[in-house]
Amino acid sequence: MLSRVADSIYWMNRYVERAENVARFVDVNLNLLLDAPPGMEQQWEPLVITTGDQKLFQERYGEASADNILRFLTFDREYPNSIISCLRSARENARSVREVISSEMWEQVNAFYLMVNEAADQGLLSELHAFFPEVKMASHLFAGVMDATMAHTEGWHFGQLGRLLERADKTGRILDVKYYILLPAVTDVGSPLDDLQWIALLKSASAYEMYRKSQYRITPRGVTEFLIINREFPRSIQFCLIQAEQSLHQISGTTSGTWRTASDRALGRLRSELDYLTIEEVTERGLHEFLDDLQVRLNEVGDQIFADFFALEPL
């Protein structure tokens, strides 16, 4: 498969997944605020902090008001990680590999883009409560269409790799949002408000029902464990890493537990560390520090994939 094509399929999936996750973590905040008692200060800045793009935000908007942040994350065409920009990039990538992906995939990503573009043209922040669920559903549709219509060969595995690495990264960031929101009010731990917040967090990762089935009571420890090291829930970090590693092995032709490329090694090592990780260790190190480090490691995996498969130079 052409390196450029593999690269495009990988990024097309990353961008769709990224758009979905931006919708998720903005949505969770919107929901949290609805439940917040009157008089409690609105927490919007943490959203920008978790994206890692606060500098850009400050340059473009200055004040961290709810409207500014919502606009920045959803409809800002100049900000490369906004939902509209992600979709534009996903579509551009899809357009450059239309002959490789199925027509249905193209149609879905095109329709998705047109939907978001229309919303961005209207730019109504008041409609966002309806918009975010639409974005999530469109992203699921895309993933489902890809799974059901594209041959599960090399290109498909590159797509999976992109989607799963992006999801692992973003589940980490969604957890981090909670960390920032909690930070000013450590005394709230265990209060009904705290409980609501954890529920909202689970819901933002579509994890609430599955969590209840696995362990009834909602505790901070249980939630972090569920979203980081659960092996069966499809948005948990470890689940993503296991699946991503399987796709990577299909691509590089090595068996699990062995490696040939640097990406095999980086991803395999990270996955096996999480295999033996306990949630106590995470708490001991500090959740935020753990997630920070995880993001760095995931970025390294991404860089290695680029070097091993996409950046081929002739001898």
Binding interface with other proteins (CB under 8 A):
1-6, 92, 95-100, 103, 106-107, 110-111, 154, 158, 251, 309-310, 312, 314-315
**Closer residue to other proteins (CB): 101 or 227:** 101
Cα dihedral 15, 19, 21, 25, rounded to 10, equals 150
Q: By the 8 A CB rule, do 170 and 17 touch?
A: yes
**Closer residue to other proteins (CB): 85 or 204:** 85
Q: Which amino acid is at 284?
A: E
**Closer residue to other proteins (CB): 208 or 310:** 310
Helix (H/G/I), strand (E/B), else coil: 220: helix
Shortest CB 3 distance to other proteins, Å: 5
**Closer residue to other proteins (CB): 29 or 108:** 108
Neighbouring C-beta atoms of residue 144, cutoff 10 Å: 12
Q: What does DSSP assign to residue 189? A: T
Shortest CB 314 distance to other proteins, Å: 5
Considering all CA atoms of the chain, what is the largest pairwise distance in Å, rounded to the nearest integer? 66
Axis-axis angle for helices 83-96, 3-35 (nearest 10):
160
- How far from each other are the two terminal CA atoms of the chain, in whole angstroms? 19
Q: Which amino acid is at 68?
A: N
Shortest CB 8 distance to other proteins, Å: 10
Shortest CB 98 distance to other proteins, Å: 4
**Closer residue to other proteins (CB): 32 or 90:** 90
Q: Tokens at residue 10, please?
A: 């990988």
Shortest CB 76 distance to other proteins, Å: 18
